[in-house]
Amino acid sequence: MPTSPSQNTWLARLAVTALLCAWILTILPYLQNSPSHSPPRALHPRANDANLTSHTSSLPISYLDPLSAGSSNVTKRDFMQCDWATAALSAAVATLGDVNPDELDLGSRAQLVLAPNDLEPPLTLPPCGFTDPCAKMVFRGTHLLCIMNSQADRVQQSTWVDLALDISTYGWNRLDNYRSFDLYGLRSSFEALNINDDNAHRKEAMMEQSSDSRPDPTGPEYEASGGEYVWSFNPSDGAMVALSSYSPDYMAATFQVEPPIVPLKRWSDLTFLTWRALFANPEDARGLKHVFRHDVANEASQDGMKSILGRDEEVSETFPGPWPGVSFSTGEAQGLAALTLPNTVGVVWLLAQHKLQLGIRVIEQVHIFTCPKPVDGREIQKWCLYLHIVDGPIGPGL
């Protein structure tokens, strides 16, 4: 006797449910007990405090196919005590479900084909009762890893890639000078990573959006916002230190600058143009391996790092501790969560939206550590992030 359409639908749903349950049972041991992994010697994870526990759950990534420090639209995060094993499992299940990327607080660039926008919308909850904020960080991180792993035709690429562009027509003024990397208290990390800190290998760049501009004579005039980005580069060793990131949007909101805001404004685009200009051979620009975010002052990033580390404490000499601090791979729940930090998302977009120039490059590992900042002859302890970048795609089975 033939089955009815309703019976076919019921049987299909039962089969899908059975497959989902079998998959969860298969990965559950990996979510509860992380497999050992051996990152590069200089990057090996280390917790500087015996009381700092980390449930380093490994999350199977499903490849289904943002943000300057100081954005006025950043969703405020508070410290969350996370069960990262449970968060990883919840995110893995949600990845298999019918969850719309539009509702994941990724910003409008995070579609299968992405439209540029550096600012994230207000936090919204996806369907299916997926309300655990810790799991949501992991889920969002999974999609950010996906867009880094994706080919260029799957992610809308930036239009700000022409080195002949005169950025001064958009009100940006550049100041270059040479100083020692050690001014930023990063010498120990540089030594561990074989990054030369001699002045001859080092270049600093500062961009200020400090002039009114009208790049198109028939278009609008953009009032100077006061936006500022500062970097230190060692191009020969593939290293970058982001020292200051105040976006035009943030500064315009702070100082009540009248719109419209200059369109050339995102950290990822200005960083690319500055980095690429350091190389005569365009292939050499693909060698970016080390990105530091120095003195992370963004409160949402600080709260996110505390949640990832599991302790609601202010930065100190012992928490999270000096280099190498505490590190997570982006195959772990905490590593995926770290991709969603405001001070990390800009690097994600730098890699994701400049694939034709940089290649398929992916954040493989994240370090959270204490770095001393010299101020008036004394050292003040600050939050620092380090992102290790490798050729992609990366992940299970790749």
Q: What is the pLDDT of residues 97-145, one digit of tens each?
A: 645 544 545 444 433 333 333 333 333 434 444 568 888 899 899 999 9
What does the pLDDT look like over 270-311, one tens digit per residue? 999 999 999 999 999 999 999 999 999 999 999 999 999 999
Closest of 170, 174, 155 to residue 353, by C-alpha: 155
Contact 128, 96 (CB under 8 A): no
Closest of 184, 200, 355 to residue 268, by C-alpha: 355
Within a domain: 107? yes
Surface-to-core class of residue 25, CB atoms within 10 Å of its CB (0-12 exposed, 13-18 middle, 19+ buried): exposed
Percent over 70 (pLDDT), the chain:
69
Within a domain: 103? yes
Within a domain: 252? yes
* Torsion sign across C-alpha atoms 180, 354, 68, 222: positive
Within a domain: 376? yes
Tally the domains of the chain. Answer: 1
Element (H, E) at 335: helix 333-338
* Cα gap 124→120, rounded to integer Å: 11
Residue 192 tokens read as 């561990």
Whole-number Cα distances in Å, 74 to 123, 169, 365: 9, 28, 24
Instruction: Tell me what the mean pLDDT of segment 33-44 comes to.
Output: 37
What does the pLDDT look like over 59-106, one tens digit per residue? 232 222 233 333 333 345 678 888 777 777 777 766 666 455 445 454
**In the block, which residue shows the tokens 């620009």?**
285
Instruction: Tell me what the mean pLDDT of segment 202-228 comes to.
Output: 95
Q: Where are the alpha helices (DSSP H) in 159-239?
A: 187-192
Within a domain: 27? no
Give the three-state DSSP class for 183: helix
Within a domain: 220? yes
Q: Which domain holds residue 283?
A: 33-398
- CA 23 to chain centroid: 29
Residue 385 tokens read as 């992030």
Residue 130 tokens read as 């997926």
Within a domain: 13? no
What pLDDT, on the 0 to 100 scale, is given for residue 350?
Answer: 98
Contact 233, 214 (CB under 8 A): no
- Provide the 8-state DSSP code for 58: B
Within a domain: 251? yes
Give the three-state DSSP class for 383: strand
Element (H, E) at 205: strand 203-209
Amino acid at 331: G
What pLDDT, on the 0 to 100 scale, is given for residue 123?
Answer: 35
Surface-to-core class of residue 27, CB atoms within 10 Å of its CB (0-12 exposed, 13-18 middle, 19+ buried): middle
Surface-to-core class of residue 311, CB atoms within 10 Å of its CB (0-12 exposed, 13-18 middle, 19+ buried): middle
Reduce the secondary structure of 77-132 to three states and give it as a string. CCCCCCCHHHHHHHHHHHHHCCCCHHHCCCCCCCCCCCCCCCCCCCCCCCCCCCCC
Give the three-state DSSP class for 181: helix
